[in-house]
Structure 1
Amino acid sequence: MSTSGSSCESNSCILCESTAVSAYHSDKRRDYFKCSMCHLVFVPLHQHLSCDDEKAEYDKHENNVSDVGYLRFLSRVGKPLLAALGKLEKAEEFGSVSNDKLLIKPAHKSNANLSGLDFGCGPGPALATELNRLGIDTDVYDIYYYPNSDKLNKKYDFVTCTEVVEHFNQPKASLPILLQLIKPGGIIAIMTKLVIDQDRFAHWHYKNDQTHVSFYSKETFEWIAQQFGFSVEFVDKDVIFLHKQ
């Protein structure tokens, strides 16, 4: 059990601000609460890492666009996104590399009809690099590594957000910033592992990363879609598309 002494009465939901939260799980380092309104499972704010400690963890990541395994991982969001955008040929090409030296193929000409943003791209923006290689104009933004706030003043046909939303320490503030970036008819492509039930959560490795503080279920994304005027599509077990209505 955590020695923090926290209780569900001391916390409001960090997504919807409801006080209808209850204890969900505790371990040696942290407590976890579940909101009965939006179904978010979250770590209370006072148990979050400092910004410096959080960035130190991210600095350890080595996500390289020449890593075939990582591109294969990203293809689970990249391929269906390109297909949904009507770019079936590019969807088939996503992640293709030469078999001998694992070099990225020459870039296509830019497709001026589409523009996107890789939100929370991290130190190695592999997804944006691959989309740009395929001729899909894709900007990058990351609060630590690419903090160009001008990118947040534009509107995009699509926004990718892979392995990011679980790091939102205040999704009440962060999600509206993310959702307002999209044009009507556009797509926000999210990748994050979903909460299934309380028993599985107790043994879930995903919660053990101390930078992971917000855990979503299908019900959470359905709540988000309803609140912000999106429709939700569960593309894969941990790939979610939010379609702007």
Structure 2
Amino acid sequence: MSACPLCHHASTATYAQDRLRAYFQCPKCQLIFADPAAKLTPEQELAVYQQHENNPEDQGYRRFLNRLAAPLAERLASPPLSGLDFGSGPGPTLSVMLSEIGYNVAIYDPYFANEPAVLAQRYDFVTCTEAIEHFNTPAKEWGQLVSMVKPGGWLGIMTKLATSADEFARWHYKNDPTHVSFFSRETFRFLAQRDELEVEFVGNDVILLRKTQ
């Protein structure tokens, strides 16, 4: 298989196969990724995303996002601070929740809020909830996320973490055809060490990274 799409390590190995596609793993950063040949077209991706019913009025969805919002807010200085929610989706909600606390939060989404100007700014915090697993070119998007965080700022990620090959074979998370990049604790530890970040794992699917430089 070709080079890792996250760390560009020269070789990767077959990790799993299901009825839809093959999966590969990088021995260096441990990223698991779906066969690029099986990826959806942008039109097919958009059709899936348009089925999502994210809504700021949905209290269950707010409770879900609060698993990231609450620990992030505990670590941030008092408002006002500026932030960006990257991959905000068709019904931006986390940005609304953080704005209610007093933070100034911009949004970006390649399909629903495609305003490239916000990507040229730097922020006290950047959030990316249930989006990093959709990255077809994770080296590019990860670099973008890190570059937008000011020194001393925070990057908050929410994604389900891969554990073992046996669990992966039964994992519902891989069955979404728009999920193409699967991170583990080892992957985030690799990225944290490489990019001079401090990493904290909050529960099973929330990762907080502080930019030290």
Query: Shared topology, TM-score over 0.5?
Result: yes
Show the counterpart of 1:34. 25
Distance, in Å, in 2 between the alignment partners of 1:117 and 1:86 is 16
Distance, in Å, in 1 between the alignment partners of 2:109 and 2:14 is 32
Whether the 8 Å contact between 1:23 and 1:34 is mirrored in structure 2 is yes
Show the counterpart of 2:35. 44
Distance, in Å, in 2 between the alignment partners of 1:77 and 1:34 is 27
Distance, in Å, in 2 between the alignment partners of 1:19 and 1:200 is 26
Show the counterpart of 1:147. 114
Show the counterpart of 2:105. 138
State the shift of 1:83 in Å.
0.6
**Aligned residues: CA RMSD:** 1.0
Show the counterpart of 1:230. 197
Show the counterpart of 2:179. 212
Show the counterpart of 2:206. 239
**Runs of 5+ unmatched residues, structure 2:** none
State the shift of 1:135 in Å.
1.5
Whether the 8 Å contact between 2:120 and 2:148 is mirrored in structure 1 is yes
Please state whether the residue corresponding to 1:161 is helix, strand or coil.
strand
Bigger relative contact order (CA 8 A; separation at least 6): 2
Distance, in Å, in 2 between the alignment partners of 1:86 and 1:176 is 24
Show the counterpart of 2:5. 14
Please state whether the residue corresponding to 1:24 is helix, strand or coil.
strand
Show the counterpart of 1:125. 92
Show the counterpart of 1:53. 44
State the shift of 1:196 in Å.
0.7
TM-score normalised by the chain length of structure 2 = 0.97
Show the counterpart of 2:140. 173
Q: Which runs of 4+ in 1 moved over 6 A?
A: none
The one-letter code of the counterpart of 1:171 is: P
Distance, in Å, in 1 between the alignment partners of 2:2 and 2:203 is 32
State the shift of 1:82 in Å.
0.5
Distance, in Å, in 2 between the alignment partners of 1:182 and 1:123 is 24
Per-residue CA deviation, residues 184-231 of structure 1 (Å, 9 max, x unaligned), is 110000000001100000000000000000000111001111221211
Whether the 8 Å contact between 1:158 and 1:187 is mirrored in structure 2 is yes
Distance, in Å, in 2 between the alignment partners of 1:147 and 1:65 is 20
The one-letter code of the counterpart of 1:127 is: L
TM-score normalised by the chain length of structure 1 = 0.84
Per-residue CA deviation, residues 89-146 of structure 1 (Å, 9 max, x unaligned), is xxxxxxxxxxxxxxxxxxxxxx4x3010001000111110111122211110011111
State the shift of 1:86 in Å.
4.1
Please state whether the residue corresponding to 1:66 is helix, strand or coil.
coil
The one-letter code of the counterpart of 2:87 is: G
Per-residue CA deviation, residues 68-90 of structure 1 (Å, 9 max, x unaligned), is 10000001000001011145xxx
Between 1:43-52 and 1:211-220, the stretch displaced more is 43-52
State the shift of 1:20 in Å.
2.9
**Runs of 5+ unmatched residues, structure 1:** 1-9, 88-110
Show the counterpart of 1:185. 152
Whether the 8 Å contact between 2:159 and 2:206 is mirrored in structure 1 is yes
Please state whether the residue corresponding to 1:241 is helix, strand or coil.
strand
1:200 paired to 2:167: yes
Distance, in Å, in 2 between the alignment partners of 1:116 and 1:234 is 20
Show the counterpart of 2:125. 158
Task: Note the 1:88-127 alignment, pairs <5 A.
Answer: 111=79, 113-127=80-94
Distance, in Å, in 1 between the alignment partners of 2:57 and 2:35 is 37
Question: How many aligned residue pairs are there?
Answer: 212
